[in-house]
Amino acid sequence: MRNMSRRGLLGLGVGAAAAAGLAGCSSGSGSSGTSDTTDPGHIGKGKGSAASKAPAGRPIGDGSTSDTGKQPHQPARPVPLQPGETPPQFVIFSWDGAGEVGNGLYPRFLKLAKEHDAKMTFFLSGLYLLPESKKSLYRPPNNPTGASDIGYLTDEHVKMTLTNTRQAWLDGHEIGTHFNGHFCGTSSGSVAHWTPEQWQSEIDQAVSFVTEWRTNTGWHDEDPLPFDYRKELVGGRTPCLLGQDNLLPTAKKLGWRYDASSPGGRQTWPVKRGGVWDLPLQAMPFPGHSFEVLSMDYNILANQSGNSTKGMTSRYEGWRTQAAESYFAGFKRAYEGNRAPMYIGNHFEQWNGGIYMDAVEDAFKKIAGRPGVRLVSFKQYVDWLDVQDPKVLAKLRTLDVGQRPEGGWNTFLKAV
């Protein structure tokens, strides 16, 4: 990147940022797994939850999940770009952790998406469906049994998370994974040092917590999740954007179609790594600065109030505006330029008075409804990628960040 200051590197979440604990999202202050060490980047306090009614389906395993057939509210089957056609502008909003603790953020964004016929990806942390009383079931690689750098949810909040996860899938959204214990940093327990075999263990446990919550909770009067998670799960995002190199062989073996864990990507058309689509969070313009910032709420916060989630209240309004303008500037650069997909990562959080939730909603509303814009999930996006002519995708990759095709789209893709 040009004109990258140290603070810009923190915003991008690349190597230096990962070492500083600022890459992608924050981790909790402890590893005991108690609710007092809950990661503020994933859950908060308050009230509110979505309402849902799962359709009848074929129970799977202990009945925690069920096969209800094809997912509702999916787009038409994707087709290849035609010669001279302008590519759609894909924008993918995604949520790390995806737990609901009564602050109403999960249902707030489900409602927003429904109002604009948009789809999103929710990267569910498996531990958010495991009661703290059963934390001994979690065996995190290179960490003590039951340890977690995000807190376990209360039983009430586990139920809220089930309700919203159920509703999200019924509304057409994707349920991916944010894995379990969210171990960042540089210690041997960090996901940065996990082997492919340890990633396999972590994923197996995440799947088991989602597919066996009835056994683990003893709740048999709650509706099942209306999908087969082993089929639904085709991608994820690692904690703090760490550990992708060793995750990819496991992801490929499991048949995953993409990974969204790369730190510090650019707004260009994607490639595959190890047979899996690599869909990184991206550097985007940061108004008022010469450097760019990663397209995630935490990295914007890191460049506004440092590592504090409770900065100067007098600056909240300016920071909220700056965050919203940053998201929109990234969108506009792609929309008016190379039409590269834009990936936005967030958490259900209330940092700095909730300004980042307001900022992403402002940007969402400003983006939605524009000609050629498609607000989709990661899964829906790779569905589109997989039916495109590889030569067309290769041609699109020749365009740099914000670069308009010479002669216009009709000329640029006509001869491919």
pLDDT tens figures, 19-54:
223 334 543 323 333 222 233 333 333 334 445 566
Provide the residue range defining the domain that includes 149: 6-414
pLDDT tens for each residue of 210-268: 999 999 999 999 999 999 999 999 999 999 999 999 999 999 999 999 999 988 799 99
Mean local confidence (pLDDT), 302-323: 97
pLDDT tens for each residue of 82-139: 999 999 999 999 999 999 999 999 999 999 999 999 999 999 999 999 999 999 999 9
List the CATH number of the domain containing 294.
3.20.20.370
| SS3 category, 283 | strand
Taking 60 as the threshold, does the pLDDT of residue 16 lie above it?
Answer: no
Residue 331 lies in a domain: yes
- Distance from C-alpha of 250 to C-alpha of 235, rounded to nearest angstrom: 11
Residue 264 lies in a domain: yes
DSSP string, 289-326: -SSEEESBHHHHHHTTSTT-SS--GGGHHHHHHHHHHH
Where do runs of H (alpha helix) occur along 5-90?
6-12, 15-20
Taking 70 as the threshold, does the pLDDT of residue 141 lie above it?
Answer: yes
CB-based contact 266:330 (threshold 8 Å) = no
pLDDT tens for each residue of 67-79: 999 999 999 999 9
Residue 299 lies in a domain: yes
Going by C-beta distance under 8 Å and a sequence separation of 6 or more, which residues neighbour residue 316?
A: 352, 353, 355
Number of folded domains that form the chain? 1
Question: pLDDT at position 9, please?
Answer: 31
Positive/negative CA dihedral, 170, 252, 26, 374: negative
Using alpha carbons, list the distances in angstroms from residue 349 to 162, 163, 273, 353, 415.
18, 19, 31, 9, 47
Residue 1 lies in a domain: no
Residue 69 lies in a domain: yes
Mean local confidence (pLDDT), 151-175: 98
Residue 343 lies in a domain: yes
Long-range contacts of 394-399 (CB under 8 A, 24+ apart): 396/87, 396/269, 396/338, 396/339, 396/340, 397/268, 397/269, 397/271, 399/268, 399/269, 399/337, 399/338, 399/340
Confidence grade of residue 8 (pLDDT, cut at 50, 70, 90) = very low
Residue 305 lies in a domain: yes
pTM: 0.90
> How confident is the prediction for the chain on average, in pLDDT?
89
Question: pLDDT at position 374, please?
Answer: 98
Question: pLDDT at position 74, please?
Answer: 98
- Beta-strand ranges (E) seen in 41-154 are 58-60, 65-67, 89-97, 121-124
Question: pLDDT at position 55, please?
Answer: 67
Taking 70 as the threshold, does the pLDDT of residue 154 lie above it?
Answer: yes
Taking 90 as the threshold, does the pLDDT of residue 12 lie above it?
Answer: no
CB-based contact 139:83 (threshold 8 Å) = no
